[in-house]
Structure 1
Amino acid sequence: DVGAISWFATHNTSITNKNTLISPDNKGYAAYSWEHDHEDVRYLDNTPGFVAAFPNTNAGDMSPNLNLKPGSGPTENEFDNARIIGERQSTKAREIYRTATTPLTGSVDSRLVYVDMENVTVGGAFTPDGKEHRTCPAVVGASTLAGSVEDGPAIPGFTEGMRNPVSHIIDALKVDTPSWLASCQYPKASLVPTGLLSNLYPVTPRILPLQIVKIGRLHLVAGPGEFTITAGLRVRRTVAEQLGVPVGDVLLQGYANAYSQYVTTPEEYDAQQYEGGSTLYGRYTLPAYQQEFAKVAASLRAGTAIGRGTAPPDESGRQFTLQTGVVYDNPPMARSFGDVLTGPAASYERGGTATVEFVTGHPKNNLRRGGTFLEVQRLVDGRWVRVLDDGDWQTTYRWTRVNGLTGTSKATITWSID
């Protein structure tokens, strides 16, 4: 066996937005723990071996913060939480993997279409009241800026469930939402009508890719957003009905091919929590997805071609960044880059922590793609062998600007020894 893929719905927000380290969060730890467990994975030296993938599904309203506050649950340590939540996913995935008996056999096929999600007429077969409705040009709701109770607040002055905008903040943005759009998006408190601004500059997407991939009996519905648990279930049921397969053979692959914020049910949309405020195309966004995915599923089942529609424009030439480059770097006086500021101890006990500090420049000078910022090596038969690098859970690389005026920096490397 060369690998395993395990879909489970949860946000990668065990580690809070105050973290400044590059981190794969709980799903990254799930993959790491499985790939480094030598009971399941056998490889020599650093030869790539078993690949464990943990993609997300319809995790729009599923938080790993079990105590319903950022960085809390099951412990009060965010890094421990990422490890524990990751272990739970990895442990269950391995249990299923070891007991699996049904081969994934059959044909491989797929369909992909592009849909203008701001202009979908949704038939009554997919709407709650059985009447025809339309989606709307995208609007970011006021409660979007509130963030969420469980995963972290965003901007003070905004709260989940807002239906009436905070007027002085809205006035400061100098963005007017016409009454027809506010009515279409009701009961959302409009913050920014991004769909109207996108003619000037693409703020939020309008044309989105909808895809279904068939791998034997497994059908992956690729949705370009964060579908809530119930929204994802409704899509799965719609697609399963069209395909004539059990709903258990249909999975929603979220965050796929594009990103258009959240997708809630009409009932969830009415509550205008963070997820509803972030559902761009109005109350009937989910019914529109159900209708359009049903068309894709029908084509896949019949083996017929389906028109792809108009692909979104290539906006790569218009992208910009607010990130600055490295202005300048200097070593401290009487020092050189690479000098050791704090050396390691002669020896350590198991369970201890080794810490070293070096004179360094800004890490943006070289992002070490395909490489690493640190290695822990062991002397084996007269040869130094790498056993850990900056991708391992036990190691940490922190960069600190010591003096912004003189451009001096240091790198602090820690190794928590098993």
Structure 2
Amino acid sequence: MTLLKFMDDEWGPIGSFNWFATHGTSMSRTNSLISGDNKGAAARFMEDWAEQNGYPKEDSGLRADLYGSIIKRYPRRVSNIVPQPNKNFDELIQLASSIEATGGRRLSSTSQRIRSNDMPKFVSAFCQSNCGDVSPNVLGTFCIDTGLPCDFNHSTCNGKNELCYGRGPGYPDEFESTRIIADRQFEKAVELFNSASEEIQGKIGSRHIYMDFSKLEVAITASNGKQEVVKTCPAAMGFAFAAGTTDGPGAFDFTQGDDTGNPFWRMVRNVLKKPGKEQVSCQSPKPILLDTGEMDTPYAWAPAVLPLQILRIGQLVILSVPGEFTTMAGRRLRDAVKAVLIKEGNREFNKNIHVVIAGLTNTYSQYVTTFEEYAIQRYEGASTLYGPHTLSAYIQEFRKLASAIAQGQAVSSFVSPPDLLDKQISLLTPVLVDTTPLGVHFGDVSTDVPENSTFNKGQIVNATFWSACPRNDLLTNGTFALVEMLDSSTNEWVPLYDDDDWSLRFKWFRPSKLSSRSYATLEWRIPENTPTGVYRLRHFGASKRLFGGVSHFTGTSRAFAVL
């Protein structure tokens, strides 16, 4: 992991960016909740850690003058609300049992996040890098029918890829696996943040070009030591692409490591587009399943023109690549760029230069493997679009960008990507109408917290509300769910957690696909550091009328005590 720490003369630490390679696939494809996966969780953990440690500094006059009222309305640290835990359990239980659900009501304005964007905040980014062959499911791959390890070379179980899955460290709980992998990244980031001592110094600059990777000439050193010129190919996907990976297996009889294909799927492929002899030869040893680079209905199935970008911030150099490089492919690219910068940088760069890869940036063009990995034709090689010399093409062009930035020269693009905005299609049907039964309001509780409920730390509280489709309003900078705590000193409800918190989940569903009715379940896993007190769950949403606009609503559960 490489971490960049941001400091301000007045505010102190204000943020950090780090680069570390691992797929965001701790959550499996069976998870239907929107999630930032392990990197999103790690960023949430670090931003909360920063706030708990007073970053940015809270004693700034500017912060106190401009944002004091917001801090009072939306305190994040529960110690600000309850200085001393209330040990009178009987009184708490009695108070909680006296507070019923409010019922749904209309709102004139939308909800607001606890972490308001109107105040200075510590920003933490857990950036992606060359994650092409890096899985967060670190316990290995196992067959779900027998529990035995999968076949090593083909990631199959008795010849079937569908049964081979990777296991995360929290197996069988994928939420726990996500938390563990996120926590490991978070803890390393905090370690690097606290020990950061090398100050960034020097120039700031960048270079950006577009290149056509479907027919790029590349100079390489052949096995006999002589120089020769090869070409990249129009994009194509191999048979092993359809096998998927152990983070998400494919279907049918596809397997990883397939460098031959089979007659049936070749026949199916030919119905869509049969690749020509030149394309087959160019992509070899990849057997082509989908000739995406030569398919253009309703528009191109794969990009041909790719953006390449290099950014320099002092001795930190960021390579923005539009794909998922494998570990070794990324290492070779970094080493090549570093060598050029040191050689041509007029002693501006030395061996202390830090080169990082920012993966999946500016556009997406699948995977990039080494020449040797491509020959094996596992999933990553089959998903390397532009043939066996794809990595060599990237290295060649990034060397040119590195030379340009080292010598202060400009670069020019001779091609540009097509503008497809007016050709976009969507298969997502619009929301027609949201309804509730007669006499029921949006935001009313359907299944409430049980009466006279008490919960301990670590337990789960949930309530289900009559709701509406979340696509009516995504509540940007707002929230669909809140956990509120009763402040006994003011008798006001104070928001403590929203749907951006790891402990609170918002689950929306319809009783049937064609139903206009829907529900929202709020599920709170009570954190161990939650203070004793009286709490309730609040839901926000927006409903759509058949002939009209969208109306916002809210509703709360009955109160309960946390002991």
- TM-score w.r.t. the length of structure 2 is 0.71
Query: Could you report, residue by residue, the CA deviation over 1:237-270 in whole angstroms, capped at 9, with x for unpaired residues?
Result: 1101110043851111111111100000000000
Q: Distance in 2 between matches of 1:84 and 1:90?
A: 10
Structure 1 residue ranges without an equivalent (≥5): none
Which of residues 206, 228, 239 is equivalent to 1:131? 228
Q: Distance in 1 between matches of 2:34 and 2:252?
A: 26
Q: How does 1:37-76 map to 2 (within 5 A)?
A: 37=49, 38-42=51-55, 44=71, 45=75, 46=115, 47-69=119-141, 70=165, 72-76=167-171
Query: Could you report, residue by residue, the CA deviation over 1:310-339 in whole angstroms, capped at 9, with x for unpaired residues?
Result: 221211111112212224432135433222
- Counterpart check, 1:217 vs 2:326: no
Q: Distance in 2 between matches of 1:128 and 1:121?
A: 20
Q: Distance in 2 between matches of 1:71 and 1:215?
A: 38
* AA aligned opposite 2:236: V
Which of residues 111, 117, 129 is equivalent to 2:207? 111
Report the CA distance shift for 1:266/1:409 in structure 2 as closer, same or farther (over 3 A).
same
Which of residues 321, 337, 359 is equivalent to 2:442? 337
Report the CA distance shift for 1:66/1:326 in structure 2 as closer, same or farther (over 3 A).
same
Which of residues 59, 69, 88 is equivalent to 2:184? 88
Partner of 1:146: 243
Q: Distance in 1 between matches of 2:341 and 2:476?
A: 43
Contact kept in structure 2, 1:261 and 1:280, CA below 8 Å: yes
Q: Distance in 2 between matches of 1:109 and 1:405?
A: 54
Report the CA distance shift for 1:252/1:329 in structure 2 as closer, same or farther (over 3 A).
same
Partner of 1:303: 408
Partner of 1:374: 481
Q: Distance in 2 between matches of 1:114 and 1:260?
A: 13
Query: Could you report, residue by residue, the CA deviation over 1:353-378 in whole angstroms, capped at 9, with x for unpaired residues?
Result: 11111111222222212211111122
Give the Å deviation of 1:165.
2.1
Q: Distance in 1 between matches of 2:224 and 2:394?
A: 14
- TM-score w.r.t. the length of structure 1 is 0.95
* AA aligned opposite 2:53: D
SS class of match (2:431) = coil
Q: How does 1:243-392 map to 2 (within 5 A)?
A: 243-244=341-342, 245-246=350-351, 249-345=354-450, 346=452, 347-380=454-487, 381-392=490-501
- Counterpart check, 1:164 vs 2:266: no
Q: Which moved more, 1:380-389 or 1:220-229?
A: 380-389
Which of residues 508, 511, 516 is equivalent to 1:399? 508
* AA aligned opposite 2:458: G
Q: Distance in 2 between matches of 1:325 and 1:33?
A: 35
- Counterpart check, 1:232 vs 2:330: yes
Give the Å deviation of 1:200.
6.0
SS class of match (2:510) = strand
Higher-Rg member (1/2)? 2
Give the Å deviation of 1:125.
4.5
Contact kept in structure 1, 2:465 and 2:520, CA below 8 Å: yes
Q: Distance in 2 between matches of 1:123 and 1:371?
A: 53
Q: Distance in 2 between matches of 1:208 and 1:329?
A: 43
Give the Å deviation of 1:48.
4.6
* AA aligned opposite 1:375: L
Q: Distance in 2 between matches of 1:318 and 1:193?
A: 21
Contact kept in structure 2, 1:41 and 1:50, CA below 8 Å: no
Contact kept in structure 2, 1:263 and 1:275, CA below 8 Å: yes
Q: Distance in 1 between matches of 2:290 and 2:134?
A: 26
Structure 2 residue ranges without an equivalent (≥5): 1-12, 59-70, 76-114, 142-164, 343-349, 528-563
Q: Distance in 1 between matches of 2:305 and 2:253?
A: 32
Q: Distance in 2 between matches of 1:266 and 1:247?
A: 29
Report the CA distance shift for 1:302/1:275 in structure 2 as closer, same or farther (over 3 A).
same
Give the Å deviation of 1:164.
2.0
* AA aligned opposite 1:104: I
Give the Å deviation of 1:383.
3.1
Report the CA distance shift for 1:313/1:127 in structure 2 as closer, same or farther (over 3 A).
farther
Percent identity, aligned pairs only?
39
Give the Å deviation of 1:152.
1.6
Q: Distance in 2 between matches of 1:91 and 1:319?
A: 42
SS class of match (1:131) = strand
- Count of matched residue pairs: 417
Report the CA distance shift for 1:227/1:404 in structure 2 as closer, same or farther (over 3 A).
closer
Contact kept in structure 1, 2:38 and 2:179, CA below 8 Å: yes
Indicate the structure whose relative CO is greater, using CA pairs within 8 Å and at least 6 residues apart.
2
Contact kept in structure 2, 1:127 and 1:133, CA below 8 Å: no
* AA aligned opposite 2:299: Y
- Counterpart check, 1:18 vs 2:30: yes
- Counterpart check, 1:186 vs 2:284: yes
